[in-house]
Amino acid sequence: MSGPGGGPDDTIADLKRRIAACTLCAGDLPLGPRPIARFSATARILIIGQAPGTRVHASGVPWDDDSGDRLRDWLGIDKATFYDEGLVAQMPMGFCYPGRAAGGDAPPRKECAPQWHDAVLGMLPQDRLTLLVGVHAQARYLPQLKRLSLTERVARFGEDLPFVALPHPAWRSRLWMTKHPCFETEVLPPLRAMIAAQLASAGETPFQRPHGIFTCKANHLWDRTCQRKSRPLSEFWCSRCGAPTCSTSGWFRAKSPNGP
């Protein structure tokens, strides 16, 4: 058996038991340790959030609050799908409730990610889509974008795949969305299509991904070099069927001056 952070000899069940028994920062947790993480070998969607709140600490269920309801709405999936470990993995930056700080919950504990993330990632499919929900996850997994604001990172939708940066869906996100309506009109529709395509592929052959091109289950192509954040979604067409949007495709090619 490997060391505390896991290793090649771990099975998923072993790793889950080790995480559940973790007391690495127990002395700094006001409610004690209760690590929250869910994952499997078939989950092609990974959600990396911040840390559990008091409600999630009490229930042991990730995103079991208003923020979770808002996140599920953004992704276009129901609770049954969201909590199916075979489809969606949940790995926060901090696995336990960190306590309070000025203005809300404290930031995630710094011990969790270096201790456990690599071991969990090693159990997941290589062709996963990873949703970085909030600034803490984005700082770790998109460090090259640290000088950008949250709004600028979210506006890069599709440019950093397989990572997608999202705001944290706390109540404050409603104010942010009011200031940035393009999130609802230009980011959420293709994001939901990506999610649907990943869910449909669970347990099946991974997507083909030639250089610069992403292919959905219906073989609709999107060349990420063509996407421009200043273009509304209506200016993108599905390169196979020519439609301006396509419910079965998560990737779109920009219109050429002469049409499709």
Kindly indicate the confidence band of residue 10, based on its pLDDT and cuts at 50, 70 and 90. Answer: low
Residues 25 and 42 in one domain: yes
The predicted model gives 148-157 an average pLDDT of 94
Q: Is the pLDDT of residue 2 over 70?
A: no
- Count structural domains, the chain: 2
Q: Is residue 172 part of a domain?
A: yes
Residues 125 and 225 in one domain: no
**Looking at 34-160, which runs of residues are DSSP E strands?**
45-48, 88-90, 100-101, 104-105, 129-133
Dump pLDDT digits (tens) for 165-202.
999 999 888 889 999 999 999 999 999 999 998 998 76
Residues 184 and 254 in one domain: no
Among the residue ranges 51-60, 83-92, 231-240, the one predicted with the least confidence is 231-240
204 or 14, which is more confident: 14
Owning domain of residue 56: 12-206
**CATH label of the domain that carries residue 161:** 3.40.470.10
% residues pLDDT > 70 (the chain): 73
Q: Is the pLDDT of residue 205 over 60?
A: no
- What's the Cα-to-Cα distance from 21 to each of 3, 4, 94, 254, rounded to whole Å? 13, 10, 15, 50
Residues 96 and 196 in one domain: yes
189, 206, 223 — which closes off a domain?
A: 206
What is the helix (H) or strand (E) element at residue 43, kind and residue range? none
165, 187, 206 — which closes off a domain?
A: 206
Q: Is residue 83 part of a domain?
A: yes
- Report pLDDT for 92: 97
The predicted model gives 26-31 an average pLDDT of 95
The predicted model gives 208-234 an average pLDDT of 38
Residues 227 and 199 in one domain: no
Residues 198 and 219 in one domain: no
Kindly indicate the confidence band of residue 147, based on its pLDDT and cuts at 50, 70 and 90. Answer: very high
Residues 87 and 192 in one domain: yes
Q: How far apart are CA 40 and CA 124, in angstroms?
A: 6
Q: Is the pLDDT of residue 90 over 60?
A: yes
Side-chain-facing half-sphere of 39: CA atoms under 13 Å:
30
Q: Kindly give, in sequence order, each residue whose CB lies less than 8 Å from that of residue 62, ignoring residues fewer than 6 positions away.
A: 36, 37, 38, 49, 52, 56, 68, 90, 92
Q: What are phi and psi of 59, to 5 degrees?
A: -90, -25
Residues 60 and 127 in one domain: yes
Residues 79 and 189 in one domain: yes
When the pLDDT of each residue in the chain is averaged and rounded to a whole number, the result is: 80
Kindly indicate the confidence band of residue 254, based on its pLDDT and cuts at 50, 70 and 90. Answer: very low
Q: Is residue 82 part of a domain?
A: yes
Residues 138 and 215 in one domain: no
Residues 192 and 231 in one domain: no
Dump pLDDT digits (tens) for 105-146.
899 999 999 999 999 999 999 999 999 999 999 999 999 999
Q: Is residue 7 part of a domain?
A: no
Q: Is the pLDDT of residue 23 over 50?
A: yes
Count of Cβ atoms closer than 10 Å to residue 138 Cβ: 25
Dump pLDDT digits (tens) for 38-64.
999 999 999 999 999 999 999 999 999
Alpha helices in 87-187 (DSSP H): 112, 118-121, 135-141, 150-155, 172-179, 182
Q: Is the pLDDT of residue 250 over 60?
A: no
Q: How far apart are CA 132 and CA 102, in angstroms?
A: 24
- Report pLDDT for 5: 54
218 or 31, which is more confident: 31
Residues 131 and 227 in one domain: no
How are beta strands 129-133 and 104-105 bridged, if at all? unpaired
Q: Is residue 3 part of a domain?
A: no
191, 206, 221 — which closes off a domain?
A: 206
- Report pLDDT for 224: 39
Q: Is the pLDDT of residue 226 over 60?
A: no
